[in-house]
Amino acid sequence: MSPREVESGPPPGEVTRLLHAWRGGGEAARERLIEHVYAELKKIAGAHLRGERRGQTLEATGLVHEAFLRLVPQTRVDWRDRAHFFGLASTCMRRVLVDRARARAAAKRDPEGYVLTGAPFGARSSPEELLDLDRALERLATEHPRLAQVVEMRFFAGLEVAEIAECLALSERTVKRDWAFARAWLLRELEKGV
């Protein structure tokens, strides 16, 4: 990571401040947070993928965790900040991945052979799969918003059940049930092939 990229991040302490503002009910703070976290995640994922590592699975948990450690000064960690951050980061992670998939899908359709500047994730699976999932999740969110959140956290941010429970202030048992139901719901939705 070049020094310039490091410098362009939010000033230290900014993310903590926004987290507190958001917890106090500030929706504007949430938007600003998403901006920062989205930018950071994109940067980390991009830097990582540019590194041309072969033979290694990229772990969502690692990315989100890294973003957290980079954005939130670690001198006095408030574990509530952490939970909120992880919850929000999963939304951002979803955006990062969906954006990439969208770009890849567009590139595939473009007869000119549009080439992405930031190396795409790879060519193994169709980006459409991820886009379908994204759309199904949208619909799930309209009917069961909390379930969509659990899926985001588990799937896009790789959070453990315990961590999700912590973020959403639920029992682990509830999270497990939500997860099972959401998967069934999504599979049915995807099979409908809308």
Chain residues in the site for another protein (CB under 8 A): 1-4, 6-7, 48, 51, 53-63, 65-66, 69-70, 74-77, 97, 100, 120-125, 129-130, 143-144, 147, 151, 154-156, 158, 177-178, 180-181, 183-188, 191
CB 47 within 8 A of CB 102: no
Give min distance, CB of 25 to another protein, in A: 25
Q: How far apart are CA 151 and CA 22, in angstroms?
A: 22
Q: Which of 36, 37, 38, 43 is nearest to 118 (CA)?
A: 43
Cβ proximity to another protein: between 26 and 39 the closer is 39
Q: What is the largest CA-CA distance in the chain?
A: 53
Shortest CB 175 distance to another protein, Å: 12
Which one, 27 or 52, has the nearer CB to another protein? 52
CB nearer to another protein: give 56 or 109: 56
The CB-of-11 to another protein minimum distance in angstroms stands at: 13
- Per DSSP, the three-state class of 189 is helix
SS3 assignment, position 27: helix
Question: What does the alpha-carbon distance between residue 147 and residue 137 come to, in Å, rounded to a whole number?
Answer: 9
Q: Which is nearer to another protein, 28 or 173 (CB)?
A: 173
Closest approach of another protein to the CB of residue 142, in Å: 11
> Shortest distance, CB of residue 113 to another protein, whole angstroms?
19
Please identify, using beta-carbon distances, which residue of 23 and 134 lies nearer to another protein.
134
